[in-house]
């Protein structure tokens, strides 16, 4: 019996999955295939195939709601991605309506448009995008997102490779400007776990996702979560969300679930993380 069934849940709610336009998906997978020299170890993608095949895999695993997170790495790209993810959500009933934003002159205008169209989850990746969350071109867009209260899955931790734009400092300043922003810190903010935990502890709208943290692969990358921080993660039960990074993961999907279960934080914590928190934050 699967873990979600043992816990009496209707399934899994995965807030960190990636479905991409076909040409972009090929390029992203090629980057992972070539990741060895950069990371010091290969990154063998476990799940490959067409979108239909990947969707069937999620269904078989018990995933009942999931995202199609995309992110831009140059100007003029975000709206092309937003068009694609809007169409994807229209075609795939269980997919959340996702969007992204990039620092460019029309960022606020298309953010307002996508919010009006019902975008439910946003994705921002400062490491890949190569920009600072404090960029003035983003300020109005951040204000709109804060006012709307929609969650933004933000990869700002310095893992797996730090850049001048990663780390908790810029995010802390962003929250001083927009304290009501609903941020979901990807990968628990790895490897700056303590610092991003502190942001969640001091900002009631800041959440964390578990994506790949606690897995054997993440530990071998040198990004192991310190056991001393587990009590703080337990206390933040209501603001921790489950994420997997499917399909670009180097292990079986179930391994992430096993990794969370072996933390021994209790069944109530697991129910909250795997389903209840996301339902409350985003809805069904």
| Domains held by the chain: number | 1
The DSSP annotation for the chain comes to --HHHHTT-S-EEES------HHHHHHHHHHHHT-HHHHTS----S--S-HHHHHHHHHHHTEEEE------SSTT-HHHHHHHHHHHHHH-TTB--EEE--SSTTHHHHHHHHHHTT--EEEEEHHHHT--TT-HHHHHHHHHHHHHT-EEEEE-S--SS--TT-SHHHHHHHHHH-TT-EEEEGGGGTT-HHHHHHHHHH-TT-EEE-TTTTSHHHHHTT-PPPGGGHHHHHHTGGGEE----TTS-SS-HHHHHHHHHTT---HHHHHIIIIIHHHHHT--
pLDDT over 70, % of the chain: 99
Residue 83: which domain range? Answer: 3-281
Running along the chain, 284 residues long, what does each successive block of 10 average in pLDDT?
A: 97 98 91 75 91 98 98 95 98 98 98 98 95 98 98 95 93 98 98 98 98 95 94 98 97 98 98 98 94
Domain containing residue 103: CATH number: 3.20.20.140
């Amino acid at each position: 019996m699967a873990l979600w069934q043992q816990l009496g849940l209707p399934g899994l709610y995965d807030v960190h999955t990636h479905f991409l336009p076909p040409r972009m998906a090929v390029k992203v997978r090629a980057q992972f295939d070539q990741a060895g020299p950069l990371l010091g170890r290969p990154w063998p993608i476990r799940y490959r195939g067409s979108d239909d095949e990947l969707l069937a895999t999620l269904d078989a695993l018990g995933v009942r709601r999931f995202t199609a997170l995309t992110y831009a790495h140059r100007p003029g790209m975000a709206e092309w991605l937003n068009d694609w993810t809007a169409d994807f959500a229209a075609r795939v009933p269980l997919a959340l309506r996702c969007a992204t934003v990039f620092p460019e002159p029309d960022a606020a205008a298309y953010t307002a448009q996508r919010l009006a169209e019902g975008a439910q989850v946003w994705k921002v990746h400062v490491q890949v995008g190569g920009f600072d969350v404090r960029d003035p071109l983003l300020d109005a867009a951040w204000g709109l997102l804060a006012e709307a209260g929609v969650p933004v899955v933000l990869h700002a931790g310095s893992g797996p490779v730090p850049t001048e734009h990663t780390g908790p400092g810029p995010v802390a300043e962003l929250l001083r400007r927009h304290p009501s922003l609903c941020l979901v810190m990807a990968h628990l903010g790895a490897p700056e776990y303590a610092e991003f935990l502190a942001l969640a502890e001091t900002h009631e709208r800041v959440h964390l996702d578990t994506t790949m943290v606690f897995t054997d692969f993440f530990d071998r990358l040198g990004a192991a979560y310190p056991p001393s921080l587990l009590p703080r993660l337990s206390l933040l039960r209501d603001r921790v969300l489950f994420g997997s990074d499917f399909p670009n993961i180097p292990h079986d999907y179930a391994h992430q679930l096993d990794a969370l279960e072996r933390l021994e934080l209790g069944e109530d914590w697991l129910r909250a993380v795997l389903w209840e928190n996301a339902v409350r934050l985003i809805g069904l």
